[in-house]
Structure 1
């Protein structure tokens, strides 16, 4: 594996004060405690005629010991505790799978991370991503992005002539109500850079298995789950107590436990063409939109171009447009040259867009149809035993709200935290992991991600309509609700 350029602490371990949760709960005030006791006594005396009072809980606050990250530095790497925790088999070494592996590592949860690729660079793992809700969670994985991510401070929306119809962000000189604060900026980072920064913590750990393609698995009442992998042309078997599918929108794990007919891929009537352009290729292009601090989008009511910082010396663009599924598949199959020609043909717009398209190397361009799936419900997990899903395997979504990686990271931390919270105090070996941890995890995950899936699907429609051109100094999703 390459050397990570992000700053990482060599060893981290779950904070003992908050048990790795990042938050602690305040003690109940005496008045609240006594009131609950009186209500409970009334319930018992009434023989159930009055409602059972709800047990009050103290308010949560940020743990001062770990500053809300859930982890603290340690001199020695944590050692897996196999007697207390289940062994977790993580299928898929993308952002979500890597995040779960590291979150388990910090909490002494034994795990093995299986990735079908032969090595880190075997294939492209996507382009750039924007850390929103997950920017704080990244610190909870022991990754510090001080010199890695690029922070945007303003966002502009243009017509194809270059007229600004929307602008927001800390870098926009607009009047704000007295006492109001500037919202936190988003962090833009190359997906592979973030993935490498997370996986770097596993370099001294033998739990990362490259070149393992999952074939199938089955649960055994006495020996947990038996998995079969294709490794160097041979079948290899392994066991685990819990299998987690973090293997993407076409998840092998999902196909085995949830019927494809119940939640098939859903085409969102558009495709994207992606490109990465080095700023050096734009040396003779004078535009303040290329200052590595600006995100801008330009649209005509059908086609939409989104441009964001990628690294300090390059930018990423995403062109999206409605197209039939058959035509989208045909165009993406024609290769990079055809994709670049299509992008240039569709964007004879304001500067620096034509220059940006022309300067983007063909080997930095890709394109694909956009899919998601119908939302899963907790009942669909009830029969699948000690198996679960996270990230795109559980709730794939379009790229238009920038939530895929964010939600996968939050899924990973949530699952690790629930395992660490419940397993030391529950007879999980007899109760089963579904009852002990998985029902709670899946309920939280599906509830949290549902609005993101729906919002991303809605964005695939309204971002390619005249709605995106309505004037308003706020993100297009919020602007849309006012019309």
Structure 2
């Protein structure tokens, strides 16, 4: 499938793999025999020890759709209201829009609600780096990103400018080319990623803007939802409610309150800014080639600078600070945040120049929080409700995993609905939790739990002397080796 084919295209799930992107080669004779012997032994010992697990077939990428799970279609699939549940998606950020797109491709009826009045009502973060998400967006019908910038080099410096780490394509592969689709990351503004997803839905009119969720309650034939719109209450009905509404999720609060798994402060603050390269007097630094990511640290403060667009960079400064001080500094606004950032980073060029040239309007800051991971046992008590993205597993920004995991959550849930709610599933009788949600949540929590843990650990070691250890690999990798 050619990458440039996606612009303006319609998609449907691949009939060969049913939208999963992978197919199974089946179970080998050897694997079946090994299982049978283990099962026979288990029965002879009258169930002593753990029961053997039936082997899974080896998965391979579907050749018909090149692993995306999608094929071209003359038009979007018609929503199958007879067989599939109607999904109410709460939150129009990246995770919520991605879920809507994945539902669209599968003919799953949905309504996408967002409390903001319009697309530009507030900032949806700054930049993001697509890692595992690069594969996920192909499963969402996006095979190229017009605004995406590929990095092929990552450097780590001391405050004086000494290089203490380097990795990436240009380190490992001797080549004159500046970009490569392999072993490289794609950086894109969150709003650009969000807009690319909305274009799959036909534009911003696909969102119910200005809808603030205030309540939902299970009823005989689904879930009744109440929204506040322009000071009035409006009711909707759905079969499944998905909270994709961020770290301070209204759905999560209505499900379990704020006392269970409350916000957990990670003892540091982040200050973010975007600087156009045109604002710099000297642009000759090799660090400003729009294909290099670099970070500089001194064991307390740490700054991370990456391409934002082809002609701008995004910077992220972080450092330890007591929670109340972090809240106070954040509340003081962009000018105070910029002054604090400049004061702490009189380091090697071009860091001071980048921060000084960043306009106040392009600066924000916030204390860093996550939450303790939810447990499957807790979620099993819920009804036809679930969470994805930051609503389910918020994490620090230091591993760049928040948006990536939200994209994977969205695709996984839509695939689960498509598989678990077919004509023969009887999901209305047995319940959508048993048919879809329990399995989806177990997979999501297992996958994202590692990222939550690693992101919290990064909030500590990136502001310690560990970050200054020399080595051509991402910071903190040596800690993982010690844990093994």
TM range (shorter): over 0.9
- Residues 289 and 296 in structure 1, CA contact (< 8 A), matched pair in contact too: yes
- Is 1:351 the counterpart of 2:381? The answer is no
In structure 2, the partner of 1:143 is: 142
Provide the rounded CA distance (Å) in 2 between the counterparts of 1:271 and 1:49.
52
Instruction: Report which stretch shifted further, 197-206 or 275-284.
Output: 197-206
Relative to structure 1, is the Cα distance of residues 166 and 53 closer, same or farther in structure 2, using a 3 angstrom cutoff?
A: closer
Q: Deviations over 1:423-467 (max 9, x none)?
A: 113111010111111100110000000110010001000100111
Instruction: Report which stretch shifted further, 387-396 or 425-434.
Output: 425-434
Provide the rounded CA distance (Å) in 1 between the counterparts of 2:426 and 2:415.
17
In structure 2, the partner of 1:79 is: 78
- Is 1:405 the counterpart of 2:412? The answer is no
Match runs of 1:261-410 below 5 Å: 261-410=259-408
Match runs of 1:112-123 below 5 Å: 112-123=111-122
In structure 2, the partner of 1:256 is: 254
Displacement of 1:380 in angstroms is 1.1
Relative to structure 1, is the Cα distance of residues 346 and 45 closer, same or farther in structure 2, using a 3 angstrom cutoff?
A: closer
- Residues 7 and 146 in structure 1, CA contact (< 8 A), matched pair in contact too: no
Match runs of 1:177-256 below 5 Å: 184-203=183-202, 207-220=206-219, 222-256=220-254
Provide the rounded CA distance (Å) in 1 between the counterparts of 2:313 and 2:137.
22
Provide the rounded CA distance (Å) in 1 between the counterparts of 2:244 and 2:106.
19
Provide the rounded CA distance (Å) in 1 between the counterparts of 2:287 and 2:85.
50
Displacement of 1:202 in angstroms is 1.4
- Is 1:169 the counterpart of 2:207? The answer is no
In structure 2, the partner of 1:157 is: 156
Displacement of 1:29 in angstroms is 4.0
Structure 1, unmatched stretches of 5+, are 176-180
- Residues 470 and 479 in structure 1, CA contact (< 8 A), matched pair in contact too: no
TM-score (normalizing by structure 1):
0.92
- Is 1:105 the counterpart of 2:104? The answer is yes
In structure 2, the partner of 1:23 is: 22
Provide the rounded CA distance (Å) in 1 between the counterparts of 2:51 and 2:343.
68
Provide the rounded CA distance (Å) in 1 between the counterparts of 2:155 and 2:48.
61
Displacement of 1:76 in angstroms is 1.5
Q: Deviations over 1:252-309 (max 9, x none)?
A: 0000111321200011110011000001111424211011111100111111000000
- Residues 158 and 164 in structure 2, CA contact (< 8 A), matched pair in contact too: yes
Instruction: Report which stretch shifted further, 369-378 or 24-33.
Output: 24-33
In structure 1, the partner of 2:177 is: none
Provide the rounded CA distance (Å) in 2 between the counterparts of 1:34 and 1:161.
62
**Residue-pair matches, total:** 473
- Residues 6 and 143 in structure 1, CA contact (< 8 A), matched pair in contact too: no
Provide the rounded CA distance (Å) in 1 between the counterparts of 2:50 and 2:462.
49
Displacement of 1:73 in angstroms is 0.9
SS at match of 2:453: helix
Displacement of 1:67 in angstroms is 0.6
SS at match of 2:267: strand
TM-score (normalizing by structure 2):
0.92
RMSD (Å) for aligned C-alpha atoms: 2.5
Relative to structure 1, is the Cα distance of residues 56 and 358 closer, same or farther in structure 2, using a 3 angstrom cutoff?
A: closer
In structure 1, the partner of 2:9 is: 10
SS at match of 2:347: coil
- Is 1:95 the counterpart of 2:72? The answer is no
- Residues 296 and 306 in structure 1, CA contact (< 8 A), matched pair in contact too: yes
- Residues 98 and 199 in structure 1, CA contact (< 8 A), matched pair in contact too: yes
Provide the rounded CA distance (Å) in 2 between the counterparts of 1:456 and 1:43.
41
In structure 2, the partner of 1:460 is: 459
Displacement of 1:422 in angstroms is 1.2
Instruction: Report which stretch shifted further, 368-377 or 259-268.
Output: 259-268
SS at match of 2:170: coil
Provide the rounded CA distance (Å) in 2 between the counterparts of 1:274 and 1:330.
16
Relative to structure 1, is the Cα distance of residues 336 and 203 closer, same or farther in structure 2, using a 3 angstrom cutoff?
A: same
Q: Deviations over 1:360-409 (max 9, x none)?
A: 11111001110000111001112221100010001000000000000000
SS at match of 1:261: coil
Provide the rounded CA distance (Å) in 2 between the counterparts of 1:131 and 1:311.
14
Structure 2, unmatched stretches of 5+, are 175-179
- Residues 8 and 197 in structure 1, CA contact (< 8 A), matched pair in contact too: no
Displacement of 1:231 in angstroms is 1.2
Q: Deviations over 1:118-159 (max 9, x none)?
A: 111111100000000111111110112253211111111111
Provide the rounded CA distance (Å) in 2 between the counterparts of 1:282 and 1:42.
72
- Residues 466 and 476 in structure 2, CA contact (< 8 A), matched pair in contact too: no
In structure 1, the partner of 2:56 is: 57
SS at match of 1:421: helix
